[in-house]
Amino acid sequence: MTVEQKLFADPAELAAVFAADFAAWVEPQKKRVITVALSGGSTPKLLFELWAKDYADKIDWSRIHFFWGDERCVPPSHRDSNYGVAKELFFDKIVVDAANVHRVLGESDPDKECSRYENEIAEHVEINGDSIPQFDMVILGMGDDGHTASIFPYQSKFLNSERICEVATHPETGQKRITLTGPVLNQAKKVAFLITGANKSDILAQVIHKTGEFANFPASYIEPENLCFYLDQGAASKL
C-alpha cells in the first residue's frame, strides 16, 4: 500500500492540482474503459467546475464511466443529490455519452435501488479475484465526524459488508443513502481523499496518525493499494 499526502493553500488550489493529476492519470491508462466513483460534498464541486471549464477537451471523457461512492435517496432535482450537482456543474457542460454515467436512482425505493445499483456496478466494473468490483479510481471526502462515502461511525459494520452497496441512514437527518461498502472502497486501484476545512483537522490527524479515537472513524479504514490525501491547510493544520 502506498500513501501520499499533498498539501494545498486552499480548496481551489487542491481542486486545480487534483484535476491535473487526474488528467495525467487517465492518459497512460491502457484500458479503454476507466471506472471512476465520484464523491458528494463541497470539494468535488470545485473539481466538477474545473473539469467543465478547463478539461472538456483535454481528457477523453468517452473512456470514463462514472459511478457514485454514495448518493442521497432523493430525486436528481433535489439540492442534496450528488448526481444532480455533478450534472449541473459538469455533465451538462461536456459531451459525454449517457451510457457512461451510472447514477444511483435516488428517487427509487432505497432497498430496491441498492440491489439494482449493485447489479449495475457488477455489470460494468471489473470484478477482481475475490469477486469484488475493482474501480480504477474512487474519489472520497471525509465528514467532520470521520465518515466517508456514507459509512457513518454508528454504521461502521458497512466497512466489512459482504455486499457491494448498503442502504445507510444519516445519523442526524435520517436521510437514506446508498453507499459503496468498505471492501469495494478498499479494492479500488487508487483512492483520492479530497479533504478540506479546519473543522476536520482534529479527526484527520487521528485518522492519519492512528491516534486518539481513530478506531471510531470509518475514514481510518480506507486502505487501498494506492491512497493519496489531497488536503488544504485547514484540514492539515494538526498533522
- Site residues for ligand 6PG per CB under 6 A: 39-43, 69-70, 82, 141-143, 147-150, 197
Query: What backbone torsions phi and psi does residue 75 show, to the nearest 5 degrees?
Result: -65, 160
The least distance separating ligand 6PG from the CB of residue 166, rounded to whole angstroms, comes to: 14
Residue number, 45 or 124, with CB nearest to ligand 6PG: 45
Cell output for 172 = 442526524
The least distance separating ligand 6PG from the CB of residue 3, rounded to whole angstroms, comes to: 19
Residue number, 150 or 187, with CB nearest to ligand 6PG: 150
Q: Which amino acid is at 31?
A: K
Q: Under 8 Å CB-to-CB from 203, ≥6 apart: which residues?
A: 142, 144, 145, 146, 217, 219
Q: Under 8 Å CB-to-CB from 79, ≥6 apart: which residues?
A: none
The least distance separating ligand 6PG from the CB of residue 90, rounded to whole angstroms, comes to: 16
CA 231 to chain centre: 15
The least distance separating ligand 6PG from the CB of residue 60, rounded to whole angstroms, comes to: 26
Residue number, 39 or 206, with CB nearest to ligand 6PG: 39
Cell output for 217 = 472513524
Residue number, 125 or 222, with CB nearest to ligand 6PG: 222
